[in-house]
């Protein structure tokens, strides 16, 4: 079996508000014997704000990061859906437009490298490692846990860019977490937008959108939500109390990163998954289901 080694691009959030995503990713990959080398001195991809107002800057930042990643062996593993989307979009746009590629090459003063493989963690687990090997590594199956997989916007959209899975009816998250022994629920809002970066500038909008998502997950009978994006996590987890207050309701839905749940199934302890960093306390649920 070929050894799996990746260059790791955590993205800014994983070094800050999404520390538990970073921690659980490193621990899970260690447990699965997948090599992960953090790209030295990577910097911000520009995320949504950059392409929102300055596409050239956004493309240049991504192109520079792709160049940095090129120096580390292995495909590029990306945890954050936003970084993933930006890097993939940059590859796509620069591959299609000669004009923009030339502009970016001038901005970064280096040739643009487009051949490196940018992969989201989900892709690595589901395709490179494979669901069979993942299932074989599971020693504490998450039996009886009903998970609502939340894709959000950027993992699959637009149709021909990330190519992670079908843009409208993706199943990759479900397949991964079912391999870990959990059940998944069919729910209506798994692809709806949470408001993402409006969390800073327009929290009112975010509350409205996020409430609809939580409501839908709850109505589908989910015990918890699983995400692959720190922005989604921020809006669903950190703001959950606030939403409950504004809409006078109660959800109590823990929001896990995919690496936390998968990590749990391969036997990693709470300390290695950063479960204590979650705003909605998952402990009661996990104890009730007998996972801890």
Binding site for another protein (CB under 8 A): 12-13, 15-19, 40-44, 46-57, 60-61, 64, 68, 93, 96-97, 99-100, 103, 106-109, 153-154, 157-159, 166-169, 188, 192-193, 195-198, 200-203, 205, 209, 238, 242, 276-279
Is residue 259 within 8 Å of 46, Cβ to Cβ? Answer: no
CB nearer to another protein: give 95 or 284: 95
2/35 Cα distance (integer angstroms): 12
End-to-end CA distance of the chain: 32
CB neighbour list of residue 248: distance below 8 Å, 6 or more residues apart:
none
CB nearer to another protein: give 181 or 228: 228
CB nearer to another protein: give 85 or 265: 85
Q: How far is the CB of 197 from another protein (least distance, A)?
A: 7
Q: How far is the CB of 73 from another protein (least distance, A)?
A: 19
Residue 154 tokens read as: 């950027």
Q: How far is the CB of 4 from another protein (least distance, A)?
A: 27
281/275 Cα distance (integer angstroms): 8
- Assign 287 to helix, strand or coil: helix
CB nearer to another protein: give 104 or 253: 104
CB nearer to another protein: give 15 or 127: 15
Length of the chain: 292
243/183 Cα distance (integer angstroms): 26
Q: How far is the CB of 188 from another protein (least distance, A)?
A: 4
Q: How far is the CB of 279 from another protein (least distance, A)?
A: 7
CB nearer to another protein: give 96 or 132: 96
CB nearer to another protein: give 108 or 145: 108
CB nearer to another protein: give 166 or 246: 166
User: Alpha helix (H) ranges present in the chain?
Assistant: 19-31, 47-53, 55-70, 81-96, 98-108, 121-123, 131-137, 172-179, 198-201, 203-219, 230-233, 240-246, 258-265, 270-273, 283-288
Peptide bond preceding 264 in cis form (omega within 30 of 0): no
Q: Which of 107, 9, 94, 92 is nearest to 60 (CA)?
A: 107
Q: How far is the CB of 216 from another protein (least distance, A)?
A: 9
Q: How many CA atoms within 13 Å lie on the side-chain side of 199?
A: 19
Q: How far is the CB of 205 from another protein (least distance, A)?
A: 6
- Assign 77 to helix, strand or coil: strand
* Burial of residue 141 (number of CB atoms within 10 Å: 0-12, 13-18, 19+): middle
């Amino acid at each position: 079996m070929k050894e799996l080694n990746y260059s790791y691009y955590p993205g800014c959030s994983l070094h800050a508000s999404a520390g538990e995503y970073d921690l659980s990713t490193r621990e899970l990959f260690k447990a699965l014997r997948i090599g992960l080398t953090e790209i030295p001195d990577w910097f911000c991809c520009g995320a949504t704000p950059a392409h929102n107002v300055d596409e050239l800057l956004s493309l240049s930042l991504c192109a520079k990061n792709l160049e940095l990643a090129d120096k580390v062996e292995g495909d590029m593993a990306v945890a954050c859906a936003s970084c993933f989307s930006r890097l993939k979009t940059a590859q796509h746009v620069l591959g299609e437009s000669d004009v923009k590629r030339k502009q970016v090459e001038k901005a970064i003063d280096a040739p643009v490298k487009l051949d490196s493989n940018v992969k989201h963690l989900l892709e690595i687990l589901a395709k490179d490692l494979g669901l069979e090997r993942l299932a074989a590594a599971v020693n504490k199956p998450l039996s009886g846990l009903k998970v609502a997989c939340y894709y959000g916007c950027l993992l699959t959209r637009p149709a021909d860019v990330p190519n992670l899975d079908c843009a409208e009816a993706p199943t990759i998250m479900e397949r991964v977490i079912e391999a870990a022994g959990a059940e998944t629920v069919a729910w209506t809002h798994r692809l709806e937008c949470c408001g993402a970066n409006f969390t800073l500038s327009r929290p009112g909008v975010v509350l409205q959108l996020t409430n609809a998502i939580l409501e839908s997950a709850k109505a589908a009978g989910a015990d918890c939500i699983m995400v692959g994006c720190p922005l989604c996590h921020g809006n669903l987890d950190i703001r959950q109390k606030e939403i409950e207050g504004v809409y006078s309701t109660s959800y109590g839905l823990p929001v896990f990163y995919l690496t936390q749940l998968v990590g749990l199934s391969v036997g990693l302890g709470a300390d290695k998954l950063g479960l204590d960093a979650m705003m909605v306390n998952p402990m009661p649920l996990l104890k009730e289901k007998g996972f801890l």
